[in-house]
Amino acid sequence: MSESIPTRDDIRAAYGRIKPYIRRTPVLSVEADAFDLPFETHFKLEHTQVTGSFKFRGALNNMLSRDVPKAGVVAASGGNHGAGVAFAATKLGHKSVIFVPKMIAKEEKLRRMRQFGAEVILTEGNVADCMNEYTAYSNETGALAIHPYDTAATLCGQGTAALEIEEQLDIDTLLVAVGGGGLIGGIASWCAGHTKVVAVETHTTNTYSLSMEVGPDINVTPSGISAGSLGGPALGKLSYEVAKAHVASGVLVSDDDVFDAQRRLWDTTRLIAEPGGATALAALTSGAYVPEKDERMGVLLCGGNAESDWFVEPTT
């Protein structure tokens, strides 16, 4: 498989590799007016995946489609990618080392990575500095670098969530939160020509919107409530190409919108997503995305690795 935009055949092949290890996560359809919205909303509950997020899919596909050396694997992550890599590595009998930027590290996610068997190394500086350290470790030790969002193997793994959604739901549009772009890159690769994909991000994790405005050579310093999971410095090169070709549009929401979306999600469904997971729903509950009449809406709840009461805290 080359480093080009994944095809549906590439994603089907990835699904065949990872299917024995992943959960086929459930879907939930919520009636009109439940969120004070005049339409039914359909959810893909990917936050119930084995490691609490979609990242497990891409991590597995990387390890099952490439040779893993004795030095094991290494990743850079705010938490969810690291948890996916750690769990997959341990499951497959490999060592894992995860570099995490101290500036966005959350104790809940650090704990998950360690529980899944990883050695966790906290780094100073920004996300880009962390990426440099993880790359240096790979070069020095020979460990297989598992990039969180910028390889075809990662995109194909994440795209398997869209394969399942197509089999489970009848929707016109899918709202997807964006950080580095691995998820939306895989989703849009599968959905191209079939389902409209809309990018959702916060104002302070705005890799997609800024890239579409000025081009791919950006360096976002992520901050705010969703930075722990949507805190990429830029879209990956491959994800940028997919997004440019196959993502219909993007919307921005505030941290307050994310808090409100999660409160509504809890009040209505008793489900808890992490801030990045609730960001896609915030596009609807805030009015940032207004569907056309009879547009069937899907929302991907991409992660659930957060303290269970995060959304009841006051915003700052």
**Ranges of each domain in the chain:** 8-53+151-312, 55-145
Of 124, 133, 67, 61, the closest CA to residue 97 belongs to 133
- Whether 8-53+151-312 shares its CATH topology with 55-145 is answered yes
Cβ atoms of residues 177 and 201 within 8 Å: yes
Distance CA 149, CA 180 (A): 6
Share of the chain above pLDDT 90, in %: 81
Residues in the chain: 316
Q: What is the mean pLDDT of the chain?
A: 93
Pinpoint the alpha helices (H) of the chain.
Answer: 8-18, 55-65, 80-92, 107-115, 127-141, 152-168, 182-191, 207-214, 227-230, 237-246, 255-269, 275-285
pLDDT band at 128 (very low <50, low <70, confident <90, very high): confident
What is the tens place of the pLDDT at every residue in 94-121? 999 999 988 878 888 899 999 999 999 9
Residues 6+ apart with CB under 8 A from 140: none
Pairing status of strand 27-30 against strand 41-44: antiparallel
Cβ atoms of residues 188 and 242 within 8 Å: yes
Which residue is listed with tokens 């969703």? 226
What is the CATH T-level fold of the domain 55-145, as seen in this structure?
A: Rossmann fold (3.40.50)
DSSP letter, residue 220: -
**Three-state DSSP state, 267:** helix
pTM for the structure as a whole: 0.92
Q: For the residues 173-202, what does the mean pLDDT come to?
A: 96
The CATH class, in words, for 8-53+151-312 is: alpha beta
